[in-house]
Amino acid sequence: MVAINAVDRLNPHSAAVVVLLTIISLFSFTRAAPHLVSGECLPIERASLLDLKRGFSFDMDSVTNLSSWKPGSNCCKWEGVTCDPNSGHVISLDLHRRGISGKLSGSLFNLTSLQTLDLSDNLFEGSFPQSGFENLAKLTYLDLSNNSFEGSFPQSGFENLTQLTHLDLSGNNFEGSFPQSGFENLTQLTYLDLSSNSFEGSFPQSGFENLTQLTHLDLYLTEFSGQVPIGISHLTNLIFLGIGHDVLQLWNLPSFRTLVGNLTNLRELYLFKVDMSYDQDWSNALSTSLPRLQALALYSCGLSGLLPTDINHFITSHMNLTSLGLSDNPMLSGGMPNFPKKNALQVLSLSATNLSGTLPPDSLANLKHLTDLDLTYCAFSGPIPFSIGNLTQLEYLYLSYNEFTGAIPRSLFELPSLTELNLGHNSFNGTVNLDSFRNLRDLSSLALSGLIVQEVSEKYFHVFPNLTYLTLASCGLTKVPTFLRYQNKIEHLDLSDNKIDGEVRILDLSSNHFEGNLPSKCFNNLESMKNSSILDHGDKGDSMSSEGVPYEVLINKQEFTLERILTISYTFVDFSNNRFEGSIPEMIGELHGLHKLNLSHNSLIGKIPPSIGNMTQLEQLDISANHLSGEIPQQLTYLNFLSFLNLSNNNLNGRIPQGEQFNTFSNATYLENQGLCGKPLSKQCGNVNPNGTSAAPSIISDHPSPSGYIIGLALFFGLGFGVGLAAVVVLQNVQWKFWKRQNGAHV
């Protein structure tokens, strides 16, 4: 009223001035704070996000390149960004599962109103910014899981995150200690996952009793040492608890019952390499303290003695139990537990224990919901009960390394859902006829090592339409099974320790750690790759010919040969992703029969051998990501069949050769070779000799890799590398990898 009276006392001219000034002030305020009107983000936060993006990298696997993140645009409309509609502050940054790599900058901490930060399932690396957490006091959700962050997690500012409810750092390379102070302030926390990291030192011993809202605690596969916080036993709302690795042990607790006694809401309990050998009352604690438990795994926990009868009581009293694992407790003995008719068990893993005796048919028949049964490395004996056919939901069955005898029951071959089967290293009677598996149409993995196997008969050659993993090691084979020619999905094949003979034509040793130079004399031994005349390019597929093409392989120091079981249409050498160094041997040009050569991602130096131009059958050549220098040999233009070339990421220079196939290659072939010029690049050559050659990056290299020659030494001169060598035979355009899987359930 006072203000109104004051205006009333103004003369008309003065009143008009006041009104005009008021309008101007309002207009100026609106111009100064456009985000309040239009919902635009704050300029400082837009700049921070752009700075953050500058540290990101995107490649062909990235789901996005954040193209909407542009200077001058409204960041509230950017991909992954959410703003408060009133203030314009960024409150959420969600870039999970975008395939983004690179590093994070400290500009992240300028987003002081951030409530949600989700960068999970990307390829971020490097250390996480060490200061600035104190600025994110409003943060409620933080997920950095499944990246490659390394170094220590920030030790300061953590205590300010008092509103945090979700913290997930799992699946990274964080090391060092976890913040010891401020943990007690996270009273709103409901989810904490630090698993699969290298955190070490002691886990915070105080403050746990304040985390009364916590429902999920996962410390699995960490390297914490010392005492498990006794405060865990007070987290009565816990539903999930996972603890374990080599150095995190429960021996500092009075008893196992002390840990779980109050956790009456617990549904899932996973303990790995937690020392429980001191506590003989563990099974009783299970059956009396965890009424709602649905999943239990006590792996490598030092359990010993006879399997307690309490386990049977535990199983009977927990009708909702879906998973039971007691694996890797070699001192645990006794027989197979009894399972009541009413049970919900889906996963049963008792591998690497000393359990023995026969499998009780009636008890086994009750496991009608079972999908996964693992009894490998036990001492079970006698026949496999026919009642195993009742397990119609079974998908994974591992029975290797036992003492089973008798014949494999026919009911096993009728399990409709079976996808992985391992029966190897038992004492079954007679031979195992591969025809028996013809009804297991979904089988993707089959391991029969150590058994006497009979080849599939001709009418069942298509018996395994989905097979990707096959191991027939030590099966007395004298030739490569003919049915393999029809397996167009095979990825892993182990035929070691058999009686097969012949020579090798295709070598694939990619993605190993081979190192050293490439001895040129090794190429003298790759005779079958030198001869292009034996390749039949007219027959690509269904020939039943068994005429011999020699293959020779040395796998795990066991020599054997492979007879040709179909017409070979490709000869392929792949030594990519290793650590070979030195130059590419000139002798490589004598491999006239080679179709594909890949030496990419090594540390090769020197010039590209002009002799590669003699490899007239070459279709794909990849020598990218090395340290090759000099010009691209003009002789490479002689490769009339070359359709795929990658010379990128080297130190090549000079003019790119022209003519023939080289006129078909794009810029991508020559990327990251600063000295190259000429078409198809935009860089002109200037005074470079027109007849000069220049390096052009190619995408796939068909030259026998130096690694191949080192392998050649191992294969033909016995200079082993000390690791299993893989021989890949490309039959009907299918690559078959031969190696022996070590300590795997499929062996």
> Three-class SS of residue 545?
coil
In this prediction, residue 31 has a pLDDT band, given cuts at 50, 70 and 90, of very low
For residue 331, the Cα-to-chain-centroid distance in whole angstroms is 32
Least confident range of 184-193, 530-539, 585-594, 667-676: 530-539
DSSP sequence for 282-351: HHHHHHHH-TT--EEEEETS--EEE--HHHHHHHHH-TT--EEE--SBTEEES-PPP--SS----EEE--
Pick 560 or 665 by higher pLDDT: 665
- How confident is the model over 121-162, as pLDDT tens digits? 999 999 988 888 889 999 999 999 999 999 998 888 888 899
Residue 137 carries which DSSP code? T
The mean per-residue pLDDT over the stretch 600-611 comes to 92
Element (H, E) at 220: strand 216-220
**CB-based contact 135:117 (threshold 8 Å):** no
8 A C-beta contact, residue 123 and residue 101: yes
pLDDT at 545 over 60: no
At residue 176, the pLDDT reads 87
Query: Over the range 257-296, which residues count as b (16 or more CB within 10 Å of their CB) and which as e?
Result: bbbbebbeebbbbbbbbbbbeebeebbbbbbbbbeebbbb
- Domains, the chain, ranges and CATH? 503-533+553-558+566-685 (3.80.10.10)
233 SS3 class: helix
pLDDT score recorded for residue 721 = 28
Take residue 486 and report the two structure tokens written for it. 């029809």
Q: How confident is the model at residue 289 (pLDDT cuts 50, 70, 90)?
A: confident
Instruction: For residue 499, count CB atoms less than 10 angstroms from its CB and return exposed for 0-12, middle for 13-18, buried for 19 or more.
Output: exposed
Which residues lie below 8 Å from residue 22, measured CB to CB, with a gap of 6+? none
- pLDDT of 36 over the 80 cut: no
Instruction: Of 6-10, 319-323, 629-633, give the lowest mean pLDDT range.
Output: 6-10
Residue among 414, 346, 406 nearest 374 (CA): 346
Q: Which range (72-76, 80-84, 491-495) has the least confidence?
A: 491-495
pLDDT of residue 694: 38
Q: What is the pLDDT confidence band of residue 520, given thresholds at 50, 70 and 90? A: low
| Backbone φ/ψ region at 187: left (φ over 0), alpha (ψ -120 to 50), beta | alpha
Contact of 223 with 249, CB cutoff 8 Å? no
Q: What is the mean pLDDT of residues 649-674?
A: 90
| 259 contacts 236 by C-beta, under 8 angstroms | no
Q: What is the mean pLDDT of residues 335-364?
A: 96
* pLDDT above 50 for 79: yes
Dist. CA 484–CA 490, nearest whole Å = 8
Yes or no: say if 600 and 622 are a contact pair by the CB < 8 Å rule.
Answer: yes
Q: How confident is the model at residue 569 (pLDDT cuts 50, 70, 90)?
A: very low
Q: What share of the chain is helix, strand, coil (3-state, %, to 5)?
A: 25, 20, 55
φ and ψ of 30, to 5 deg = -65, -40
For Cα atoms 723, 725, 727, give the angle at the middle one, nearest 5 degrees: 170
pLDDT at 334 > cutoff 90: yes
**What is the Cα–Cα distance from 590 to 587, expressed in whole angstroms?**
6
Contact between 747 and 736 (Cβ < 8 Å): no
- Asked whether the predicted pLDDT for residue 705 surpasses 50, the reply is no
What is the per-residue pLDDT for 513?
55
Tokens read off for 354? 């000393």
Closest alpha carbon to 154 in 108, 221, 217: 108
| Residue 359 to residue 289: CA distance in whole angstroms | 29
Nearest-angstrom CA–CA distance, 449 and 140? 53
**Helical ranges in 322-430 per DSSP H:** 361-365
Residues in the chain: 747
Q: Identify the top-confidence range among 365-374, 534-543, 579-588.
A: 365-374
Query: CA-to-CA distance for 655 and 674, rounded, in angstroms?
Result: 12
Structure token pair of residue 536: 């039949």
What number of H helices and E strands is found in the chain? 10, 47
Label residue 216 left, alpha or beta by phi (over 0 means left) and psi (-120 to 50 means alpha).
beta
Is the confidence at residue 175, as pLDDT, over 80? yes
Q: How far apart are CA 348 and CA 337, in angstroms?
A: 11
pLDDT higher for 21 or 499?
A: 499
User: How many other CB atoms are there within 10 angstroms of residue 489's CB atom?
Assistant: 12
* CA–CA dist 661, 679 (Å, integer): 13
CA distance 667 to 655: 13
- For the segment 482-511, the average pLDDT, to the nearest whole number, is 74
Q: What is the pLDDT of residue 494?
A: 86
pLDDT band at 355 (very low <50, low <70, confident <90, very high): very high
Tell me: pLDDT of 566 over 90. Answer: no
Residue 189, pLDDT score: 96
Higher pLDDT, residue 502 or 533? 502
Q: What is the mean pLDDT of residues 441-462?
A: 89
Dist CA 747 CA 740 (whole Å): 8
In angstroms, the CA 103 to CA 232 distance is 34
CA distances to 13, 14, 39, 572 from 23, rounded to whole Å, are 16, 14, 22, 79
Give me 577's structure tokens.
């992703």
Q: What is the pLDDT of residues 51-68, one digit of tens each?
A: 999 999 998 878 899 999
Backbone angles phi, psi at 707, to 5 degrees: -60, -35
Instruction: Label residue 702 by pLDDT band (50, 70, 90).
Output: very low
Which residue did the predictor score with more confidence, 60 or 654?
Answer: 654
- Please compute Rg for the chain using Cα positions: 33
pLDDT, average across residues 485-508: 75
- Of the pLDDT bands very low, low, confident and very high (cuts 50, 70, 90), residue 37 is very low
| 250-259 pLDDT per residue, tens | 445 557 888 8
Whole-angstrom distance, CA of residue 524 vs CA of residue 707: 14
What pTM did the predictor assign? Answer: 0.67
191 Cβ contact list (under 8 Å, min separation 6): 165, 166, 167, 168, 214, 215, 216
Question: What b/e string do you get for 707-729 counting C-beta neighbours within 10 Å, with b at 16 or more?
Answer: bbbbbbbbbbeeeebeebbbbbb
**β-strands 552-555, 558-561: how paired?**
antiparallel
> What distance in Å separates the CA atoms of residue 698 and residue 576, rounded to the nearest whole number?
14
pLDDT attached to residue 236: 94
How many other C-beta atoms can be found within 10 angstroms of the C-beta atom of residue 531? 14
DSSP-assigned beta bridge partners for residue 471: 447, 494
Answer positive or negative: Cα dihedral of 248, 250, 253, 258: positive
Contact between 666 and 680 (Cβ < 8 Å): yes
**Cα–Cα distance, 53 to 139 (Å, whole number):** 21
Mean pLDDT across 399-403: 98
- What is the average pLDDT across 78-107? 95
Check residue 593 and give its pLDDT: 79
| C-beta neighbour count of 735 within 10 angstroms | 16
For all residues of the chain together, what is the average pLDDT? 78
- The Cα 509–Cα 214 span in angstroms is 48
pLDDT value, residue 452: 92
Q: Stretch 446-465: mean pLDDT, rounded?
A: 87
